[in-house]
Amino acid sequence: MLIKRSDLPIWLLSGMLVFAAPLSIAAEQTVTADQAISALERTFGVHKGERRNHTKGTCAAGEFVGFPEARAYTRSALFSGKPVPVVARFSMPGGNPNVPDTAKIPRGMALEFRLPGGKLQHMTMLNTPMFGAATPQTFVDDIVAKKPDPATGKPDPEKIKAFKASHPDSLPQAEFLASHNPPPSWANSSYFSIHTFKFVNREKNTTIVRWRFVPQDGEKRMSDDELKSSPPDFLEKNLIDRIKQGPVRWDMILTIGVPGDPENNPTLLWPADRKEVKIGTLTIFSATPRKGAECEKINFDPLVMTDGIEPTNDPVLLFRSPAYAISFGKRINGN
């Protein structure tokens, strides 16, 4: 019998330090989760008690209501039509807790859905429609290339150039970020699943899907002048101030894949004409600084899933789980 992590008690999930990917995938990887975390530590330093990646962030809380339209594709209890409590974390990638909010890097939204009976569903997303690596090796090589030169305190431009030349799978996301300025608020950005997942319905029919959360406040981007004049920290304050005016909402849009669409490469987009269905609404009622807040206790492992949602064999998706676990184990031990 397959035991899903969402069926395990929360205390056991929190204590998991290793949960290996399937052996067929692990055997193909040239880097380990330990090596990935070590690369992050060497590039960004070790900030005790903090996440090794997506260190800077803001906690939030709210609820999700899944729509009946999703039931044609999945039997997941997430789409019961009833409100499901959600703990959220908005974040900046990398291990620098002081990275400026003006940086032209992705923004992240991680969600923990708390379903009846102690069941959990996690979603960890970025505000770019693609990821910056098709394999764990590219991800690690990217982190290594960004290690600051001791002489300048900044990454060596030649190493960055060499990385891009030798890793074409990193280019789609880099080009997207170069041509799209970051948002002025967490509330003004869409967030994408990045990976492909499988939805399984009550008839056991499987559909490959991707999803995104689209802001009801509208997608907005900062101007070049705003990027130059804005302070290094504004995203958290802007979200907290926005919520004082009322709840912030996103629509969950499901994209339906067809046979032949890329399943295991998160750098490749699907054709724009794929069928889309609105299957839920996320509402955020409160936001707080991360220190001591609820979201900081959570390891947002993307393989924590409810019955009716399954992973594909995307090597990056499967790699994230053991890497997150190692990072989580270090920070809860105060390292």
Catalytic residue among 54, 122, 167, 195: 54
Q: Two tokens at 208?
A: 């490959």
54 catalytically annotated:
yes
**At 200, which amino acid appears?**
V
Residue numbers annotated as active site:
54
